[in-house]
Amino acid sequence: MEKIRIAFFDAKDYDRNSFVKAGEDREFEISYFETRLTEATVRLAEGHDAVCVFVNDDINPAVIDALVEMNVKLVALRCAGYNNVDVKYAYKKIHIVRVPAYSPYAVAEHAMALLLTSIRRIHKAYIRTKDFNFSLNGLTGFDLHGKTVGVVGTGKIGRIFIDICRGFGMNVIAYDKFPAEGSGITYVTLEELWAQSDIISFHCPLTDENYHMVDADSIRQMKKGVVLINTSRGALIDAEALVEGIKQRKVGAACLDVYEEESNVFFHDYSNHIVDDDTLARLISMPNVIVTSHQAFLTEEALTNIADTTLANVAEFFAKAYSKNEVCYKCPEVATCKQQHETKCF
């Protein structure tokens, strides 16, 4: 039997290591490319059966047409979100599979790590003590116990984050378009969540409906000094509005693992370059903003699960008449998708 040929885009060392380990003794031939998948690089996929992509690859109509022309049959996302794929245009042209869950604990724990680092000024203390400066001036934080945290999105990651917050003695309220029945979670409207929360954490996919759900208007509705945490998708937050909210002292702190214009910046080393994105530069320069480069998923457990599930998705797609992790435009909301995946989506 011929090996399944996979063009692997935006490949990093940690990707190679986990996929090489997961693919040992299996029927795959993987070509690793450091570049992202874009219109300019899509021809690298020629001669392959599938492409493997990540969050910043751009699977737009032009890319989809080129893949179809080259007889590529499958786009295998090694992540849960698929907002970077034009799934409607892909329908009946090329199939899409994803990794719906790899380590919800990794992302939820990173969100809490960002929060604790920010409010207890751990990042500032670390820098000071490296210079043997042991002054406590300016390092005063606040207790999490008794504070109200608003959680937007109560899927697996959101619910794990809620459990962590409850362990700190926090009051939890949440918003989800599709509330988890019988979960014991107190659901409120978005307007109520903005108004009542001391801390707001986002754990939802990006859709047309919630694009820039945090904008100038929603920030005006929030408590003065609110702390925002985003480990989901950057475009949930209007970055310009966030900058203004911080400058006006309305937003007390921002903890960002994602950024709406991250695709040409995150996952790369620009330490010896000038970054052209003025908004990102302003955010990073602010003392109450912590930015990590989309690393919430990055644990040994998550990388293993991503590699195992991605290769299982590819093998299943080419061997069977169905693919349990397939997505298409007919099921834009995973919570309400009625596709039983007993057959392929088309």
The Cα–Cα gap between 173 and 120 comes to: 23
80-to-91, 234, 288, 335 alpha-carbon distances in Å: 18, 15, 29, 13
- Rounded CA separation 215/266 (Å): 23
Name the amino acid, one letter, at 12.
K
The sheet with strand 4-8 has its strands ordered as: 28-32, 4-8, 50-53, 74-77, 95-97, 326-327
The catalytic position among 233, 249, 273, 342 is 233
Q: Is 233 a catalytic residue?
A: yes
Q: Is 294 a catalytic residue?
A: yes
The burial of 319, by beta-carbon neighbours within 10 Å (0-12 exposed, 13-18 middle, 19 or more buried), is given as exposed
Q: Tell me if residue 341 is catalytic.
A: no
Choose the catalytic residue: 78, 98, 294, 326.
294
Helix (H, G, I), strand (E, B) or coil at 130: helix
What does 210-268 look like in DSSP terms, one character per residue?
A: TTT-BSHHHHHHSPTTEEEEE-S-GGGB-HHHHHHHHHTT-EEEEEES--TTGGGTTTS
Distances in whole angstroms, Cα of residue 35 to Cα of each of 11, 31, 92, 252, 275 = 7, 12, 27, 37, 19
Q: What residues are annotated to the active site?
A: 233, 262, 294
